[in-house]
Amino acid sequence: MSDNSYTPVRITTIKAERQVPFPVYIFFKDQYLEYVQQGKAIEKEKYKKLRRQKITKFFILGKDEGLYQKFLDSFLEETLNSPDASLDDKAEAVTGQSETAIERLQIDPGNQTNFDMTRKAAKNLQKLIFENPESLKRIFGQDSESGPIVQHCINVAAMSVKFALKNKVTEEELDWLSTAALMHDIGVMQMEKESQDLFYKPKNDFEGHEKIKYFEHCKGVVQILAEKPYINAQVIELIENHEENLQGSGPHKKSKLSKVQEILSMVNSYDKKIITKKIPPETAIKEMMIDELGNYNLALLTNFKSFLKEEKVI
């Protein structure tokens, strides 16, 4: 990223009435316009107007990336720890950071700043989900301004970490899982439009060649990530194996999965069912108990169903 390039950031990560230590731009009529001066804050009314106009992105200069990340870290820390912030404020801040991180990974999956941002977003998502009982349902029911694939990644991350926590996995595993879940389908976002459309097709309706094409999203991007020394091997393995199942019919035909790998794959299948078949969460879990029997341990599926009830998702 060159210093004079413009980098997109979600407007939900630049809060109103909060001083920004860098200039903020909007893209309007083919050009970047300075919208907030360095050291100034956006007025609440102006911010609301932008939201109403469905403006979702601001831009910052590449050279201000470090300042932006620091700004975002303190914004998230304050919001998540503030007794005055509503659940919506908290969820919006965490979602904005996750969306920005995932969208950047889509453009440049091997970039360390993007990976670090994703890891921080995954940590904040955990904090939100673990400390606010209603937050999972809140996140799970939303529509991301970044589109259904990004929303799917956030859904899977939120749901899989909370379910994994109940299944007594280690803190380290929760970190790997939440990071990998946010990243797991960046391979889909990198495919050309026609292949990307396969994301919306139920997997049982795939023709042979479509299945092969779709499974590529678990390969190419993994090779890019695997070369990076700052990405933990467990995170890479989770991404690589997120479409695998115990019957070995996934892209790599793997049939032995670790507990967290099985959880990620199962939660991914569950959320995909809701998206691709446009069915409610209750119907999706009923179908899972039939269609995915054998793909996952029965005990895990049953626990997952109880978990969804406890969380009032179904």
Q: Which is nearer to Fe ion, 24 or 149 (CB)?
A: 149
Residues near Fe ion (CB under 5 A), total: 2
33 in helix, strand or coil? strand
Minimal distance in Å, beta carbon 220 to Fe ion? 13
Contact window for Fe ion (CB under 5 A) among 63-71, 118-126, 161-169, 267-275: 267-275
Q: Which is nearer to Fe ion, 93 or 136 (CB)?
A: 136
Six-digit token pair at 130?
């673990």
Residue 194: CB atoms within 10 A of its CB come to 8
Q: How far apart are the first and last CA of the chain?
A: 44
Minimal distance in Å, beta carbon 272 to Fe ion? 6
Minimal distance in Å, beta carbon 100 to Fe ion? 19
Find the binding residues for Fe ion in span 168-207 (CB under 5 A). Answer: 185
Q: Which is nearer to Fe ion, 132 or 195 (CB)?
A: 195
The answer to whether residues 90 and 79 touch, using CB atoms and an 8 Å cutoff, is yes
Asked if 268 is part of the footprint of Fe ion (rule: CB under 5 A), the reply reads yes
Strand 57-61's sheet: what is its strand order? 6-10, 57-61, 24-28, 31-36
**Closest by Cα among 145, 160, 163 to 92:** 145
Minimal distance in Å, beta carbon 195 to Fe ion? 12
**Closest by Cα among 224, 223, 199 to 211:** 199
Minimal distance in Å, beta carbon 217 to Fe ion? 6
Find the binding residues for Fe ion in span 113-172 (CB under 5 A). Answer: none
Q: Which is nearer to Fe ion, 92 or 244 (CB)?
A: 244
Minimal distance in Å, beta carbon 47 to Fe ion? 32
Q: Which is nearer to Fe ion, 120 or 217 (CB)?
A: 217
Please state whether beta strands 24-28 and 6-10 pair in parallel, antiparallel, or not at all (unpaired): unpaired
| Ranges assigned E (strand) in the chain | 6-10, 24-28, 31-36, 57-61
Radius of gyration of the chain (CA): 20
Asked if 244 is part of the footprint of Fe ion (rule: CB under 5 A), the reply reads no
Q: Which is nearer to Fe ion, 76 or 221 (CB)?
A: 221
Site for Fe ion, rule CB under 5 A: 185, 268
